[in-house]
């Protein structure tokens, strides 16, 4: 029976061992599954899952016809890990004879990218232990293609977001640009809310080879692309206008120039051009301070173009009519001992209101303005938009300066002919738009709309039209302004055969920088509308300080811009002659 | 407990508790009677074919699962491949689009037009299709552009994207020179043609345009 006992003992031992093993295993299982479960889950998810951040695409900026002014493009950096890259490589991994030293690789890369091999070597050798070095930034897909053909292992091309402005400096002052720290100027900055994108993120599990495990849990947030911002600017017209003012600015040697073309019916700015220009592709190359739009930011004493507004206000208030007679002396002496002169010397003249505008008589408009109290004249100017920013949202936009009454003896007269008051080119365009639009000021508009990728349209303009003067007053002023082109002093420079144009010139003295009256510099401008019988477009050209004391300097550019407008918008010639307006008596 | 003992007397249960060889070693029993299993018992007995069948099915399932997994992961690779090729094609498309936009820029078009000898007209004139009248004064453009484009060197409105893009040259390298010498001649021809139009083509319409019915007017040919 000793054998049976031995068997029993053996059995007991086995059972005990088995139970112990089971206990140990269960314990371990408990530890793994319960105690450490959370931590292990985390580690496992981290090792298996891949998170991919998909950047959204910044929206485009397009002109009124959908022509792209700014768009997001794909650019790539060229990166290597110096630690591995410096070792060189074997073209055929199994063949030691195919060794390619790092110098050869660098020479090849230098050849494609156009960088110097010495610079690249310096970058790579700066920190030989490093795992990351950027050889070149923002290269195009074409360059990446060429680099990939070199088949140099260990070179990577991470994509980077970049911005391209296919039309260069056309509208460059308005569009602005995007720097490494985001949008820096123009509508790129002002309307970043429309254009900016939101990056998306997706998480899924991958196998050891990086390929997604089928059916693995995916957490996905889709990227949201930026909206498309449509400007009212017309690229083709803008280019022509830009060339016209640049050519003339260079003739005049003027440091700056602006041109504004505004559509009368809705206040859309179809061209807002500046000189000097800025090419958003290369903002560093532009003149310092040129990155904003002078048409919005540069306020200046506009001079005689304001007389159109003064006349409209006086007529609307019933103080004068187009034929109100004025006796214009050679000099108007003021009670403080000062005086007002005209830009041309003359004896006593007998002008009507129309004659005052035709010949741009400062004395004449000063005398006419005495028929309406200053506060009322001030109110009209405010309604015309003087002294307030336009409805356009534009970074750095100037509001102009309109002093509040009571005005001193000089100012009460000078504001009527645009001295002692300042405005921007866009504000001047607004005044003429109001006159052209039968007395209703349409809010100036630069941005037509923002269309989000899902099709939602965000209408960015909420301003309402304002009735400033009666249609009768506006139309009468328009008729008087036609005399400037048909018979005024520089009519020969403004006339376009077959077309009726109403315009007003401006030659404003520039105040000395440190006070002490006016210097010998002038800001010259012409503002007008075409066709005069039924205005469709308002044009304002302005040239920064020149020593030329006549708006004749601005006239050729004005005429060229008008021709461009006629050409671009197919404005047919006028079919009726301009009505006769009495200018003298 | 040996079974090698012979018994003369029959036992009640001869098979009970004895091995088979014991029976075979007792030839004195004639094998006439056999115990037959009942039908139910026969049915209950497991059959090999069933075992094989079940195992086969299990293996088939395993195999199918394996194949499905292979197909699925093959699909995953295909998806990855296609996604990367989609991305590459997308990049190519957008880079071509970018190039197109740049080539379509006003600066490039104007520079090419000027290089071809085209000039900007100084006067706008329109042909009214409904009655064939000419609106405005149709004068031919001069040999140099007289409007803004005369200063149209693209330096004035720069576009740095165009620095590496050459002007389009006429095709055929060998004829480049002759083409260049031809173009001024063509240009002057058109100028003459234009001036003759100018002398006769000035119509200032006084009446509103007659309505345009349907198609554009065109000569009737047979």
> What stretches of A81-213 adopt beta strand conformation (E)?
89-90, 99-100, 133-139, 155-156, 159-164, 178-179, 182-183, 200-205
Q: How many CB pairs under 8 A join A and B?
A: 135
B152/A246 Cβ within 8 A: no
Q: B23-31 contacts: CB < 8 A, separation 24 or more?
A: none
Say what the pLDDT of residue A556 is: 92
- Say if residue A190's pLDDT is above 70: yes
Q: What residues in B contact A572, CB-CB < 8 Å? A: 126, 128, 135-136
A166/B73 Cβ within 8 A: no
In B, minimum Cα distance to A499 occurs at: B136
A167/B107 Cβ within 8 A: yes
Task: List pLDDT tens digits, range A288-312.
Answer: 666 788 999 999 999 999 999 999 9
The two beta strands, A502-511 and A518-530, are: antiparallel
Task: List pLDDT tens digits, range A3-34.
Answer: 778 888 999 999 999 999 999 999 999 998 88
Contact A139/A112 with Cβ under 8 angstroms?
Answer: no
Say what the pLDDT of residue B177 is: 40
Of A344, A324, A340, whose CA–CA distance to A332 is shortest?
A: A340
- Say if residue B185's pLDDT is above 70: no
- Name the residue facing B160 among A239, A281, A571 (closest C-beta): A281
Q: Which of B122, B123, B148 to mutate to test the interface with A (most CBs of A within 10 A)?
A: B148
Distance from CA of B170 to the nearest CA of A (A): 24
- Say if residue A516's pLDDT is above 80: no
Task: List pLDDT tens digits, range A430-463.
Answer: 999 999 999 999 999 999 999 999 888 886 777 8
Task: List pLDDT tens digits, range B50-107.
Answer: 889 999 999 999 999 999 989 888 888 888 899 899 988 988 998 899 999 999 999 9
Task: List pLDDT tens digits, range A313-325.
Answer: 999 999 999 999 9
Contact A319/A371 with Cβ under 8 angstroms?
Answer: yes
Return mean pLDDT, chain B: 70
A498/B135 Cβ within 8 A: yes
Q: Which of A172, A211, A239 to mutate to test the interface with B (most CBs of B within 10 A)?
A: A239
Interface of A with B in 219-258 (CB under 8 A): 235-236, 239-244, 246-247, 250
Task: List pLDDT tens digits, range A533-542.
Answer: 999 999 999 9
Please state the rounded mean pLDDT for residues A579-585: 87
Give me the numbers of helices (H) and strands (E) for chain A, helices first please: 20, 26
- Answer whether B136 touches A (CB < 8 Å): yes
pLDDT bin (cut points 50, 70, 90) of residue A543 is: very high
- Answer whether B102 touches A (CB < 8 Å): yes
B101/A68 Cβ within 8 A: yes
- Answer whether A39 touches B (CB < 8 Å): no
Is the ipTM above a cut-off of 0.85?
no
Q: What gap in Å lies between CA B18 and CA A397, rounded to an integer?
A: 118
- Name the residue facing A244 among B75, B135, B148 (closest C-beta): B148
Say what the pLDDT of residue A215 is: 66
Q: Is residue A503 classed exposed, middle or buried when 0-12, 13-18 and 19+ CB atoms within 10 A define those classes?
A: buried
Please state the rounded mean pLDDT for residues A233-248: 92
Q: Is residue B96 classed exposed, middle or buried when 0-12, 13-18 and 19+ CB atoms within 10 A define those classes?
A: exposed
Say what the pLDDT of residue B7 is: 54
Please state the rounded mean pLDDT for residues B155-179: 66
Say what the pLDDT of residue B172 is: 46
Least confident of A46-55, A185-194, B5-14: B5-14
Q: What residues in A contact B163, CB-CB < 8 Å? A: none
Retrieve residue A121's tokens.
């070597």
Distance from CA of B53 to the nearest CA of A (A): 32
Please state the rounded mean pLDDT for residues A210-237: 84
Contact A52/A212 with Cβ under 8 angstroms?
Answer: no
Most confident of A377-391, A566-580, B140-154: A377-391
Q: Please, which residues have CB within 8 angstroms of residue B144's CB and are 6 or more apart in sequence?
A: B119, B150
Provide the residue count of chain B: 222
pLDDT bin (cut points 50, 70, 90) of residue B200 is: very low
Retrieve residue A200's tokens.
């998306």
Distance from CA of B208 to the nearest CA of A (A): 8
Give me the numbers of helices (H) and strands (E) for chain B, helices first please: 5, 2
Distance from CA of B158 to the nearest CA of A (A): 5
């Amino acid at each position: 029976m000793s054998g049976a006992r031995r068997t029993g003992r053996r059995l007991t031992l086995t059972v005990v061992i088995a139970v112990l093993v089971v206990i140990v295993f269960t314990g371990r299982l408990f530890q793994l599954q319960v105690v450490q479960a959370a931590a292990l889950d985390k580690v496992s998810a981290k090792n298996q899952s891949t998170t991919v951040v998909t950047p959204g695409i910044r929206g485009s900026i397009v002109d009124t016809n959908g022509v792209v002014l700014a768009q997001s493009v794909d650019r790539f950096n060229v990166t290597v890990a110096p630690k591995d890259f410096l070792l060189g490589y074997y073209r055929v991994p199994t063949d030691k004879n195919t060794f390619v030293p790092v110098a050869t690789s660098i020479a090849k890369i230098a050849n494609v990218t156009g960088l110097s091999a010495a610079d690249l070597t310096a970058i790579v050798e700066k920190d030989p232990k490093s795992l990351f070095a950027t050889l070149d930034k923002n290269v195009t897909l074409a360059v990446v293609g060429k680099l990939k053909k070199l088949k140099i292992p260990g070179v990577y091309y991470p994509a980077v977001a970049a911005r391209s402005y296919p039309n260069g400096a056309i509208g460059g002052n308005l569009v602005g640009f995007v720097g490494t720290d985001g949008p820096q100027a123009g509508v790129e900055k002002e309307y970043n809310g429309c254009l900016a994108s939101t990056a998306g993120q997706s998480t899924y599990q991958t196998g050891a080879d990086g390929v997604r495990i089928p059916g693995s849990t995916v957490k996905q947030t889709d990227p949201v692309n930026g909206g498309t911002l449509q400007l009212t600017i017309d690229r083709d017209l803008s280019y022509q206008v830009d060339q016209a003012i640049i050519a003339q600015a260079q003739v005049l040697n003027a440091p700056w120039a602006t041109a504004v073309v505004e559509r009368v019916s809705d206040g859309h700015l179809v061209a807002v051009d500046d000189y000097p220009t800025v090419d958003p592709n290369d903002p560093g190359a532009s003149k310092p301070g040129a990155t904003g739009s002078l048409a919005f930011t540069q306020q200046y004493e506009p001079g005689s173009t304001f007389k159109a507004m003064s006349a409209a206000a006086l007529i609307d208030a019933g103080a004068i009519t187009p034929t109100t007679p004025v006796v214009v002396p050679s000099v108007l002496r003021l009670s403080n001992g000062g005086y007002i002169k005209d830009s041309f010397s003359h004896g006593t003249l007998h002008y009507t209101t129309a004659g005052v505008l035709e010949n741009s008589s400062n004395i004449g408009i000063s005398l006419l303005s005495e028929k309406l109290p200053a506060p009322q004249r001030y109110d009209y100017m405010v309604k015309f938009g003087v002294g307030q920013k336009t409805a356009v949202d534009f970074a750095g936009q100037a509001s102009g300066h309109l002093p509040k009454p009571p005005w001193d003896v000089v100012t009460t007269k000078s504001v009527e002919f645009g001295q002692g008051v300042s405005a921007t080119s866009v504000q001047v365009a607004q005044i003429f738009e109001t006159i052209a639009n039968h007395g209703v000021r349409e809010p100036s508009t630069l941005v037509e709309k923002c269309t989000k990728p899902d099709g939602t349209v965000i209408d960015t303009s909420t301003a309402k039209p304002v009735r400033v003067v009666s249609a009768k007053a506006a139309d009468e002023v328009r008729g008087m302004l036609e005399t400037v082109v048909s018979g005024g002093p520089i009519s020969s420079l403004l006339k376009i055969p077959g077309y009726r144009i109403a315009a007003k010139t401006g030659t404003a003295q520039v105040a000395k920088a440190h006070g002490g009256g006016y210097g010998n510099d002038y800001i010259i401008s012409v503002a007008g509308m075409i066709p005069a019988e039924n205005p469709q477009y308002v044009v304002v050209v302005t040239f920064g300080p020149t020593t030329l004391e006549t708006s004749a300097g601005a006239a050729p550019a004005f005429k060229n811009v008008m021709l461009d407008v006629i050409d671009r918008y197919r404005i047919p010639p006028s079919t009726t002659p301009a009505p006769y307006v009495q200018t003298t008596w | 407990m040996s079974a090698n003992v012979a018994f003369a007397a029959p036992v009640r249960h001869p098979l009970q508790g004895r091995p088979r060889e014991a029976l075979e070693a007792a030839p004195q029993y004639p094998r006439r009677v056999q115990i037959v299993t009942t039908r139910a018992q026969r049915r209950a007995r497991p059959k090999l074919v069933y075992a094989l069948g079940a195992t086969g099915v299990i293996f088939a399932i395993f195999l199918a699962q394996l194949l499905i997994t292979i197909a699925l992961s093959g699909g995953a690779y295909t998806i990855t491949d296609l996604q990367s090729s989609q991305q590459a094609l997308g990049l190519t498309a957008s880079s071509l689009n970018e190039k197109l936009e740049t080539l379509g820029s006003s600066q490039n078009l104007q520079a090419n037009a000027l290089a071809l000898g085209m000039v900007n007209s100084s006067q706008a004139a329109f042909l009214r299709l409904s009655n064939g009248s000419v609106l405005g004064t149709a004068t031919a453009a001069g040999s140099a552009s007289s409007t803004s484009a005369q200063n149209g060197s693209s330096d004035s409105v720069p576009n740095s994207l165009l620095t590496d893009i050459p002007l389009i040259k006429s095709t055929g390298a060998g004829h480049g020179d002759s083409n260049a010498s031809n173009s001024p001649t063509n240009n002057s021809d058109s100028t003459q043609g234009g001036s003759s139009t100018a002398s006769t083509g000035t119509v200032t319409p006084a009446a509103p345009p007659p309505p345009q019915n349907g198609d554009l007017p065109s000569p009737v040919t047979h």
